[in-house]
Amino acid sequence: MAKILIVDDDPGIRELMEIMLTQEGYDVTSAGEPLKATEMCRKKAFDLVITDLKMPKINGIEFLKTVKDIHPETIVIVITAFASGETAISAMNEGAYDYVEKGGDWDELKKIIRSALQKKGLIADKGQTDITNVQVNSFCGMIGSNREMIKIFSTIKKVADTLANILILGESGTGKELVARAIHENSSRSKMPFKAINSGGIPENLLESELFGYMKGSFTGAYADKPGIFEMAKGGTIFLDEIGDLPPVLQVKLLRVVQEKTFRRIGGSEDIRVDVRIVSATNQDLREKVKKGEFREDLFYRLNVIPINIPPLRERREDIPALINHFIGKYSKMFNKEIRNISSYALELLMQYDFPGNIRELENIIERSVAMESSNIILPESLSLQTGDHHVYPKFNIDIGEKGIDLNGELEAVEKMLIEKALLKAKGSKKKAADLLNISFDSLRYRMEKLHIE
């Protein structure tokens, strides 16, 4: 992932460029003035720097010279609202890669950035994006270079060996159980059991026995004593997923375990003392549930000693290429395929998608794509993304890189997508789809057979 630094004293322009380039898949950092940016360059090597020309204290040309002194290989693009031939020549003479007018075509800036990074060999040509060399920052099975994810990794290391209860917050599919397991694995309890239970996935009458166990004869079918997961996790960690779905009666019993470290089996008369670390998780707003009287306030504060918020995937798009690379490797091995990459056309589509199902949905998409793909690279037509009742299709903005493109392959991909889109619109009627495409029924049938469309 190419590392880009944006330097501009206009916060609006700076934020716009940061969002735009993050969505393009780059690792983007920004600074509001050159002195701070210079310090950042001394601590970290950036692949490309975009700097404004007119800034207080130090102008863009002086900053350009400083960057080149520190890291001669860094690409520098100068951007300004005060374009002139003289300043352009001055910037180029000092080693600027290009000179762009502020407020112009942002797509043109993106093309210049991509071209510069391609020439330096930092990213692949447009036809095929090489994600096999994407820098992967992993921690206990989690992948992420996003700032918030790095903070989470750091927090886990700090709190793992404390006794404090932890509440993990995040949407479904963000990897809450991975965080819980990482807390366990980084603690002194790592050699003891880790037990997980989904509070919302088990009927209430069974959930209590799963948590606390039962005594022989306590109810019909209780033919022998059975320990619950609190006993089985003795000395280790218990992960209570979807804690917001815990019924009120069990909230009272859980509060007793949290406060007194004791509980009773169903039908039991003796207290059982247990030493466990409790990590909870939810995708709900527990504070709102407390206000509505649906969740005990005292239990909430007991569980929420240290909160960890996991951002949704749409807020950490810079991690998508690394995650894709990981899942391609995983499922290529599982399905005995030789797929090692993804076309930039397909990657662009995934970078623009909001992933309502988060990482779990991305993994499902890549698993299906690897299983369905007949070539050695994931192409757009093997992706299956849904928004409402309609598939998402990429824009037809294929660029021709220095190595050229596979024209027949690209044309077949576009043809296949248009036919599938017509079939969706026609609700499966081949006659209507042929009419929408302005071709004969026989021509449509021939093309579907050629492209293996069912």
What is the chain's percent helix, strand, coil content, to nearest 5?
45, 15, 40
d(CA 436, CA 313): 36
393 band by pLDDT with thresholds 50, 70 and 90: very low
d(CA 5, CA 38): 11
Question: In this predicted model, what pLDDT tens digit does every residue of 267-314 receive, in sequence order?
Answer: 988 999 999 999 999 999 999 999 999 999 999 999 999 999 999 999
The ranges of the chain annotated as CATH 3.40.50.2300 are: 3-119
CATH T-level assignment (fold) for domain 316-450: Helicase, Ruva Protein; domain 3 (1.10.8)
pLDDT at residue 177 greater than cutoff 90: yes
Tokens of 287: 């504070």
The ranges of the chain annotated as CATH 3.40.50.300 are: 147-309
Q: What is the pLDDT of residue 400?
A: 64
Question: In this predicted model, what pLDDT tens digit does every residue of 426-454 receive, in sequence order?
Answer: 777 888 888 888 888 777 887 887 777 76
- Average pLDDT for the chain: 84
Percent of the chain with pLDDT over 70: 88
Strand, helix or coil for residue 101: strand
Classify domain 3-119 by CATH architecture: 3-Layer(aba) Sandwich (3.40)
388 band by pLDDT with thresholds 50, 70 and 90: very low
Q: Do the beta carbons of residue 24 and residue 41 sit within 8 Å? A: no
d(CA 279, CA 169): 11
Question: In this predicted model, what pLDDT tens digit does every residue of 46-68 receive, in sequence order?
Answer: 999 999 888 877 888 888 999 99
Give the CA dihedral 42, 47, 52, 53, nearest 10 degrees.
80
- DSSP one-letter string for 405-427: --HHHHHHHHHHHHHHHHHHHTT
The ranges of the chain annotated as CATH 1.10.8.60 are: 316-450
Mean pLDDT of 382-386: 75
Q: What is the pLDDT of residue 133?
A: 60
Q: pTM for this structure? A: 0.59
Classify domain 147-309 by CATH architecture: 3-Layer(aba) Sandwich (3.40)
Q: What is the pLDDT of residue 390?
A: 40
